Structure 1
Amino acid sequence: MENLVRRVRSLLVNSVGYVMAGFLLLVLPAMLPWLILYRIFERITREEKIVVGKVVLITGASAGIGRHIALEYATRGAIVVLVARREHLLREVAAKCMANGARDAAICPADVSKQDECKRIVDFTISNFGKLDILVNNAGTAKSGLFAEQKNTDDVKAIMDLDFWGNTLTTKYALNQLRRVRGQVVVISSVAAFVPYPKQAIYNAAKSAIVQFYDTIRAEPVGQDITITVVLPGFVESELTKGGPKDHIPSWWPMLSTPSAARAIVEAAVAGKRYHIVPFWYATWLPYKVFAPELLEWPPRMFLLGKPPTRAVETICNTVLGKDNTQKLFRALPEWVI
């Protein structure tokens, strides 16, 4: 009798879920025109942020996207504070920022994977310029490899320490200053926040956690006092993508140039956007994440890992082709696309 009750209860719960999903699918098309009108109204009434003379703190500014974000703000007449571990590269970026039109440029060598360093860079900015208007959380790192094969847990923790804690704790220490001037946090996440890209489990998790963190901050009282712009870039030519293993990214995959990515990021920030996916076509993957997440898993499983997309496909192929031929077929797929 108890088993029957459990089954009935489970059936009712699942039925409610299916009914709600069906209702949303029916309502969504009717809501689209209103959502489009809302977005148009929002764009018309949105005021672009003037960054001339604003103090902009940028982490991970020594190379890659961070370097070019600094240069973009410099051309708009901002005061830039550049943070990274490599001091000699920071000096080069600072000099270039001054040549590009920055009102001033200061460097603060630091490792934001350490909590006290997150506080120190904010204190440095305030002591030198008296305020902080825009915080750009860009610093990040990644390590490629299947999670089940990771032997050094320190490497795994290091990614979260920098990509998540280095991001959120810097924001924590900057909040009072940002609230005072109704400032802005610009967050560099990644499309990996919603795409299950293999061999990047911890990196993907950190980028996803960042998005949820700032979504929650928006709902809290502080979210009414500051602007939060979350940017989700796809694959960009940088040290992270160029320095990865050969089988990490297909050679034919479209890569956005670093200057183009940085320009899009700063333009989104200046426009005060809540979210911005760069380039825009990655947004076409979002419906799959919501309505058919398994379809996002199949291509990387086949073409990057050389595995059948599902157990059912594997069983069918084993029956038709034989187990050995099935393994050879799927192992050959990565060689065709990489």
Structure 2
Amino acid sequence: MSAICNILNVVLPPLSLISIPITMLPYLFVKLLVYAKNLVHTESMERKVVLITGAASGIGEELAYEYAKRGARLSLIDIRKENLVTVADMARSLGSPDVTIIGADVSKVEDSKRFIDETMKHFGRLDHLVNNAGVSGIPILIEDIHDLTKYNPIMDTNFWGAVHGTLYAIPHLKNSKGRIIVVASGCGWFPLPRLSIYNASKAATISFFETLRIELGWSIGITIVTPGFIKTNMALKAYEEEASLQWIPLGSANECAKDIVKSACRGDMYVTNPSWLKAVFPSKLLFPELVDWAERHIFGLWQKPSCKNGDLRMSKNNQALKTE
């Protein structure tokens, strides 16, 4: 086996360099045809059932309104059920014929099973599952975290929270030939310092749903969303805590939601908003050393913070996690 690996080490690199320019043009042509087809045959959401987690605010709230405008019936999920009442009323006024609200914590397996079961009991079907609920921690250097267990809720909500609901929804989505939309983050592909656990949770989410897309084949569509910093309560609080993040422009939650719904109905595999982020991702692959150097300069990481600063960050770290 080692001999085969040695042969592949020699043959595959030059072969890939030759094959990429040969296959790129036909691939782009096929992509163009598929894109044109999807523009003409966009999925109608009229009276279809959409379940949205984290729907009480931010991107989730705007997604509820965008789906409502398309005539979808909505199952809105959030740990803050009382905040869903206003969202549900607005969704009805925008055109949704039926809206139900469910209080649930996506990080809990039993809650995830319950909101899928209650949605099916109320509507009898499920067409789009939107895994949007998420949390972030106070921005902090990893070496200044003295109790990692305080950050368990980030992985429990951002990663496992998306996995739990998805696994219970898969049989119903197969019946409707439906779609899973998962709101990850550009940080899952292009990690930023002081957000290590959050970055890891989003990277895990992207990897899981890319794997699931391969396993499910054509039975369920999957759209992975990688937004940048969007103007939500979570992003604004991160800006307050970490001045070095403030050079990143904030996108609009409304525009982000419009892009997500449009791309999901078109059958896209990925959607990135703001779209300028697409130009940033390749640099990580092509120029990793340059990217690391630039981030150290931008975020002021050439010198290690003093113990005093580290103690200050730890005091902030003890604050509650922020939710989207």
Instruction: Name the TM tier (shorter chain).
Output: 0.7 to 0.9
Tell me if 1:25 matches 2:20: no
CA drift at 1:248: 5.2
The aligned counterpart of 2:297 is: 302
TM-score (norm 2): 0.86
Partner SS for 1:243: helix
Matches within 5 A, 1:1-338: 17=9, 20-46=12-38, 47-143=41-137, 144-220=139-215, 222-244=216-238, 245-247=240-242, 249-307=244-302
Residues of 1 paired with 2:14 and 2:117: CA distance?
52
CA drift at 1:70: 0.4
CA drift at 1:22: 4.3
Residues of 2 paired with 1:301 and 1:18: CA distance?
35
CA drift at 1:19: 6.0
Residues of 2 paired with 1:249 and 1:34: CA distance?
43
Bigger RCO of structures 1 and 2 (CA < 8 A, at least 6 apart) = 2
CA contact (8 A) 1:82 1:90 kept: yes
Amino acid at match of 2:170: L
Q: Deviations over 1:179-237 (max 9, x none)?
A: 111111011111111112111111111111111111111221x3321111111111110
CA drift at 1:299: 1.8
CA drift at 1:253: 2.3
Query: CA separation of 1:33/1:173 partners in 2, compared to 1, >3 Å: closer, same or farther?
Result: same
Partner SS for 1:77: coil
CA drift at 1:249: 4.9
Is the deviation greater in 250-259 or in 108-117?
A: 250-259
CA drift at 1:169: 1.1
Is the deviation greater in 289-298 or in 202-211?
A: 289-298
Partner SS for 1:205: helix
Residues of 2 paired with 1:93 and 1:181: CA distance?
26
Query: CA separation of 1:227/1:280 partners in 2, compared to 1, >3 Å: closer, same or farther?
Result: same
TM-score (norm 1): 0.83
Runs of 4+ in 1 over 6 A off after TM superposition: none
Unaligned runs of 5+ in 1: 1-8, 309-338
Q: Deviations over 1:243-277 (max 9, x none)?
A: 11442554342211110111111111111101111
CA drift at 1:238: 0.6
Structure of larger gyration radius: 1
Amino acid at match of 1:52: E
Paired residue total: 297
Residues of 2 paired with 1:139 and 1:296: CA distance?
30
CA drift at 1:145: 1.2
Is the deviation greater in 75-84 or in 282-291?
A: 282-291
Aligned-pair identity in percent equals: 34
Unaligned runs of 5+ in 2: 304-324
Partner SS for 1:135: strand
Amino acid at match of 2:116: V
CA drift at 1:156: 1.6
Amino acid at match of 1:239: N
Amino acid at match of 2:22: A
CA drift at 1:33: 1.4
Q: Deviations over 1:149-192 (max 9, x none)?
A: 21232322110000000001110000011011111101111111
Residues of 1 paired with 2:156 and 2:192: CA distance?
20
CA contact (8 A) 2:128 2:180 kept: yes
Partner SS for 2:99: strand
Partner SS for 1:210: helix
The aligned counterpart of 1:328 is: none
Amino acid at match of 1:304: F
Amino acid at match of 1:31: T
Residues of 1 paired with 2:42 and 2:104: CA distance?
31
CA contact (8 A) 2:141 2:193 kept: yes
Q: Deviations over 1:30-66 (max 9, x none)?
A: 3321121011111123331110101100000000000
CA contact (8 A) 2:244 2:298 kept: no
